[in-house]
Every structure is written in C-alpha cells, then in structure tokens.
Amino acid sequence: MNLTELNKVAQAMVTPGKGILAADESSGTIKKRFDAIGVESTEDNRRDYREMLFRSKDAMSQHISGVILYDETIWQNAKDGTPLVKLIEASGAIPGIKVDEGTQALPMCPGELVTVGLDKLAERLKKYYERGARFAKWRAVIDIGSGIPSMTAISVNAHALARYAALCQATQIVPIVEPEVLMDGDHDIDRCYDVTQRVLNKTFQELRVQRVALEGMVLKPNMAVSGKKCPKQAPVAEVAEKTVRLLKACVPAAVPGIAFLSGGQSDEEATAHLDAMNRLGPLPWRLTFSYGRALQAAPQKAWSGKAENVAAGQSAFAHRARMNALASRGEWDSGLEKKAA
C-alpha cells in the first residue's frame, strides 16, 4: 500500500469548493426516480441520463471532485463509444465505485440490517482499479426506532465497513466509509446525536483494529438532524452546531475530509446545513458534500428523458453543484437560489 498516493487521492476528493456526485443509485432506486419523471428505466436511458451529467462541463470541471458509480455504469460507454469513466477523468474529476451489495436482515435483531458484499471483494476491487476507479464506497444503514439500534447492529456494520476499507487500501483504492444513521422516524435531534456518536466511535475503533490508514480514507456520515416525522424540526444553526460538535468528539484529525450524505433532506436544506457548518470557524478536516438526490432531483426533472432537454438538465445540475460548492466554503446565501429560480 502506498499511503502517500492514497492520501493524495483522498485530499483531491475533498478539494475546497468541490464535492462528490453520488451517481451510484441501484437499479431499483433509479427506477423509482425515473418513474417519478415518467421515464422508463432502460439501460440506454440510464446511460443517457448519466452521460448528460458527466458531460456538464461547468459543473464537473468547477464543482465536482469525484463521481461514485454503480457497477453497470462503470462498464458503460457513452453514445459515441467513449467509456463513461473517461468522460469523468476528462473533466478533472475522479471515478469511484459503489462496492457493497445492499443489505440483508440481521439475524436475531428484528428490524435491523447488515450490509453485504465482502465475499470476492478483493478480486472485484482489482478489476475496478484497472477500469479507472480510484475510490470506492460502502454504506452501512443504522435505523433508529423503539429499542434500536442494538449494539449488535452497530458492531457488525462497523466491522464490515472496516473490512471493506482495509481491502480497498490494499488495492490502492481510497475507501469512502459511510455509516448512515437514517433520518426516518420521529426521534429528535438529540437522539440522532447519541446514536450517531455510538456509531462513529465504534466505526473508528474497528478501523484502527483492522489497521486502516485514516489519512487514506474519506468519511461519509449523516448530519445530526431531527427524524423526518419529529414534530419539532431542529433549525439550521442547531444542526450545524451539534453536527460539528459530534464530529469533533468522534473523528480523528488524521482523516482528510468529511463528505456528508444528504439522506433525504431537501436540496436547499442539505446546502444550508453544510454552509452553516463551514461558517463555524477552522475545523480539523474539510467538510464537503457527497450528495445523490440533493444534486440530481432538479436535473432529473428538467431533463425528463428528452434529448431536447439535455441543456436544461445540465444547467439545473450546474446550479445545484455551484450552490453546494459555495456551501462547502461557507459562502452560500439563500438569495442565490431565488436569483437562479
């Protein structure tokens, strides 16, 4: 393992003013997104949609540091025969790959899940590296509910995340470590804070046990937010203050950067929260975004599967990417949203 090279890629992924586009929706998820805009989820349509994003010159070259791909996408070629990974590289962004294989019910833990996909991962990573992937992503899913999460679910998922991260680094691939505490449910922000703290502490404990080099990884956590069904939604300033406090308590300074997931927040909420955190003064790591839906909902709607809407889709994508890039520097202002609208 060459740690200098891994660190270089990790630093590039969290370049100030840039963030990561999560374009790694599974076939089931992208079908839901396409159903919402009345587009059939065929291999060609999925390719055309993602090609539109990767060819968005302004967004990709100025505001996107890396793109997380799904297995189907990393092997696809654009309409003109250019591999999609080459389009990403040409824009100056880094291709990455989602390597987990989804979740299964966790035995003896009703209502809880464990992420699978470690079998044969070493061989898969080698192939992805040859194809151009320089980072990977694995998502653990922790739900908050009555009596959950159990310590079992937290431990098992943290162990798998660390195993995956070690395998990545052994293949010279930077792991994005994503322990997501879901915002579904009616819990308040303090309950989210407590659970996330337990999850992050256990995750870093496992990463150390399995000798993962913290300088060669990127963390992709949830923010401390109220559950979607909680009658009292925490305001932006509280989300920012509690999330930063939580990260300072749990995340070693050796980690180059933290790229947040949006986790079901609205486009503007995700941007406002990131901006408020970056205004809280000097932090030990760079804070940026690794958004899927919060970067793509607007371009999907503008495009709606029609070739004549490609420019509109790209302009919607460029706008969201720019708003989040400003937020990653603490320079966003909600007035900028209204101007564009």
Catalytic residues: 178, 220
* 105 CB-contact burial (10 Å; exposed 0-12 / middle 13-18 / buried 19+): exposed
Q: How far is CA 102 from the centre of its chain?
A: 15
If we measure between CA atoms, which residue out of 130, 155, 126 comes closest to residue 140? 155
**CA-to-CA distance for 114 and 104, rounded, in angstroms?**
6
> What is the Cα–Cα distance from 275 to 260, expressed in whole angstroms?
12
At residue 143, what are phi and psi to the nearest 5 degrees?
Answer: -100, 145
Q: In sequence order, what are the residues at sequence separation of 6 or more whose Cβ sits closer than 8 angstroms to the Cβ of residue 169? A: 1, 6, 175, 212, 213, 216, 217
Residue of 180, 21, 165 whose CA lies nearest to 99:
165
